[in-house]
Amino acid sequence: MNIKKGFTLLEMLVVIGIIAVLVGIVTSSYSTAQKKARDAKRQGDLKAAQQIMEQCYSVNTTSYQYPIISNTGGTLTPAACPGNASLTFSITDPLNTGTYVYTIASTTSTYTLTADLETSATNFTVSNQQ
């Protein structure tokens, strides 16, 4: 009796189908993880910016003012802090495509920093605490 060893066409198609499904699941999970990581970076950047703005407000004892924040090319940067010039930050959106942007409303007495999030319909906002 002569038995040939090997896989049938049906077996090969089943294996290829299973592999395709697994690749699709992994790709989807990876994409979601990337979006969540970028959102976490946006939130962390804005929290750090908020802390620096509050420190600047507290060291500027002559006028108790926040530095004005500018948005140039998608990067948020405050003016120099009068009480301590080393208190500064510069943040750029991690995706940096213009789709998810930081927006600002800034005066010497108030500020609001907002980031569009990829995984949520609501934006993340930090504002002055004084």
Q: What is the pTM of this model?
A: 0.77
Q: Is 29 helix (H, G, I), strand (E, B) or coil?
A: helix
**Total residues found in the chain within this entry:** 130
Predicted confidence (pLDDT) at residue 16 exceeds the cutoff of 90: yes
| Alpha-carbon distances of 104 from 46, 70, 72, 76, 125, rounded to whole Å | 11, 8, 11, 8, 10
As a whole-number percent, the residues of the chain with pLDDT over 90 amount to: 33
Are 124 and 115 spatial neighbours (Cβ–Cβ below 8 Å)? Answer: yes
Predicted confidence (pLDDT) at residue 99 exceeds the cutoff of 80: no
From the list 94, 113, 93, 97, the residue with the least C-alpha distance to 105 is 113
pLDDT digit string (tens) for 31-82? Answer: 899 999 999 999 999 999 999 989 988 888 788 888 888 887 778 888 888 7
State the average pLDDT over residues 2-22: 90
